[in-house]
Structure formats: structure tokens, C-alpha cells
Structure 1
Amino acid sequence: MLIRPLVRHGHQYRLLAPGEGALTAVQYVDPDADRTVVLVWRPSAFFGPAHPPLRLRGLDPGARYRDEDTGAEWSGATLAGFGLTIPGLPDGDCASALVRLRRVV
């Protein structure tokens, strides 16, 4: 999946604003809600409990979405209601993770 067109032409959702916690997250969804990209980053090392799942926006609640890297699948309703469990971030400052989801049904 090419990310640049999705970022340039998709809908942007700021899931976790910078400076309001240990993590920052932004989501881009293409106009048809077929593909989405979630970027999560941690500006500095964080100690404490894991962050709760990220509630995604702009997805079709009746569709299923597959993580293009792991093959895991979720319904759009689950991603919006319960959320996406934040993938393991590497240790250290300025760690980041990118999740690429594609609608499969």
C-alpha cells in the first residue's frame, strides 16, 4: 500500500494529540474507507501501564479490516468501539509503529 496518496488525499483523524500523554497517534482513511493507516509514536521513553486501545474513526462499521503486516482481522465496529491494540513499540525515545489496514469484506 502506498502511504503518500492516503496521507495527501485521505481524511485525517488525530487520535492522541501531542503533549497530552505518553503517546501521539494520527490516522488517515481513504475517501472510500477501504484503506487506513495509523501512525503511533512515543516522543520519549514511557514507564507505567500499557496505553488503552486506540479507537479508530472513519471506518465502515459493517466491514472487516485486515492488518497488512500481521494478517489479523477486526470488524470496523470493533476498531471504532473497543479500539486497536497499540502494537509493541521498540524501547527508547522516538519509537514509532505503523499499522496498515485494508477492508476485506
Structure 2
Amino acid sequence: MEKRKAYEDHEVGDFSASRSAMESVEAKSKLQLPKYFVFNTVTYKGLDCQAFTLRLSILTGGDKPVLVARLIKAEQIQEAIAKEFADKLTSELKDTDITVNIGTVEI
């Protein structure tokens, strides 16, 4: 039996053929997967509702395809939540000498 490598993950032989995981997923899936999901939730009590967008992708490096949801713009979301919290805290503490700062502290 002579085998020739047609593509990196696709082997063709005289009486057989094998496909990459991605080709198999595409061949078996009749429904198109959504590109992203949007979740709206309150992150902390007292803060406004925040929209989180998760991108859906398929990893095909292993034995079986794996669905992965990744948060889009995570750093920007964290900054927006921190700013909203600081603004609300500053508003509540306006009659005091306490100042509110956003950042990290290393000791």
C-alpha cells in the first residue's frame, strides 16, 4: 500500500484516506456555530449591568476538537468596572477627606 501525504494532516492511500480533525468537524457539522456570545450581568452588587462578549473557537490540535470561549477585551472591561466602582465610591465619600485611586500596590 503506497501512501502519499497530500496535506500536512491529510493522508491518501490506495484503499484509505484520513482527514485532519478540522476537516472532519466541517464535514460532520451541518449547523454553523455562532462566532460569539454576549452575556449581560451585574459583576458586583451596586454596579451597573456589564456586557461580556465571548468569542467561540474550535481547537483541533488534540485527538478530539475542543470548543473554547474566550473573553474579548478583558482588560478594557476590567478598567471600566474599576472606574465605575471608583466613581461610585468617590461620590459616596465626597463629604470626607478620603481620596480614591485606581491602581496596584506592591509591598
Q: TM (normalized to structure 2)?
A: 0.24
Query: Relative contact order: is structure 1 or structure 2 higher (C-alpha 8 Å, sep ≥ 6)?
Result: 1
**Structure with more helix by fraction:** 2
Q: TM (normalized to structure 1)?
A: 0.24
When Rg is computed on C-alpha atoms for both structures, the one with the higher figure is 2
